[in-house]
Amino acid sequence: MEGSTASNFVLGFVIFLALAGQLVEAQTQSKKAIASALYVFGDSTIDPGNNNQLNSIAKANFSPYGRDFPDHKATGRFTNGKLATDILSELSGLPDLLPASLDPNFQGEKLLTGASFGSASSGYDDSTSKTLKVLTLGKQLENFRHYRLQLANMTGQGNATKIISEAIFALSTGSNDFINNYYANPLMSKKYTLAQFEDILLQSLRGFVQSIYNEGATRLVIIGLPPFGCCPSQITLHNVLNGSCYEKFNEVATSFNEKTIALTKEMTLSFPALRIAYYDIYAKLYDMIKYPTKYGFKETRKGCCGTGLIEASILCNKGTPTCNDPSKYVFWDSFHPTSEAYNSIAKDLFSEVLMQLNS
């Protein structure tokens, strides 16, 4: 075999091995995946940077947010690294970072495996979202429909329908409706009793489920309210002398969660082609706060950013010092969990809920 011919043969064989390796890896990934895509909606707990594209102060695209990513890049996620939905995506056999639907780079093959349509500071009620000029739940759904058109243009209508029908949808919102709306706006609490306001939110939840059902969703996870009375900022604002969780807010979360569970059972009958699961994040996060050493944490009263008592969003910025080891903290800032806490939540959500939906 002549030299040039041999060289070409070797080069071709190397390329063949590389392509074969990629094919095996893709097939392995495909076999491992429990869903075609992951679509999430809600607030800052699942927003990976959609608000970066909005004229709103509700952003986290600056240091020290994202400080524990390999490149220390602030993506818009309200934590030090990954969100629970990023980790959930990876556990499901999908990419380890769930992209923001409004990210200019969200195009091409990235469209195939899902996205987050969430918006920090949003809620079930439109007035909650409009306060800080962020995406209402209705607008998030509108953006999903626009995404679906892009997906259909790329893959064909039949393939787009198949991807959506084999995807997992998730919804995580509600805390802002109470913290930044009902209890922050005297007009709202005068206009509605707490029970009436909760009913308004539940109507929005039902409308959301109806919408994704119409879009062909077959699996949905509804994430309940966390014990937001245990957020450092809420303790500082409402129970600073005692220094413990503000139980009034926790009771609100518990009450709303009970109504959400009841509605979930009712919707299971109303939407027979849609499997709906409820995830009790309240119990998981409350256990982490009450028994931190069980999860490897030490600090539950303060966030890692600044004093940890009030700093969040623009108050947690590049001039704000942070703790040395966020892995020992349940909270990153005074409102949002660390990526370490999100990791524990995601693993629990995956094993307790997603595997149930996939069975």
pLDDT in tens, 236-295: 999 998 889 999 999 999 999 999 999 999 999 999 999 999 999 999 999 999 999 999
Specify the amino acid at residue 316.
Answer: C
Burial 4-28 (b: 16+ CB within 10 A, else e): eeeeeeeeeeeeeeeeeeeeeeeee
> What residues act catalytically?
44, 333, 336
Longest CA–CA span in the chain (Å) reads 90
- Cα separation, 97 vs 110, in Å, equals 11
Query: Does 47 have pLDDT greater than 90?
Result: yes
Of 23-27, 135-139, 185-189, 290-294, give the lowest mean pLDDT range.
23-27
Query: Under CATH, to which class is 35-228+245-283 assigned?
Result: alpha beta
Are 235 and 244 in contact by the 8 Å Cβ rule? The answer is yes
Q: How far is CA 178 from CA 35, 115, 118, 312, in A?
A: 33, 26, 18, 17
The sign of the dihedral angle between the CA atoms of 155, 159, 160, 164 is negative
* Spans of all domains in the chain: 35-228+245-283
Other C-beta atoms closer than 10 Å to the C-beta of 278 total: 18
Report yes or no on whether pTM surpasses 0.85: yes
Are 123 and 185 in contact by the 8 Å Cβ rule? The answer is no
**What is the per-residue pLDDT for 33?**
87
Residue 65: pLDDT band (50, 70, 90) is very high
Percent above pLDDT 90 for the chain: 87
Residues contacting residue 246 through CB under 8 Å, at least 6 positions apart: 229, 230, 234, 235, 238, 239
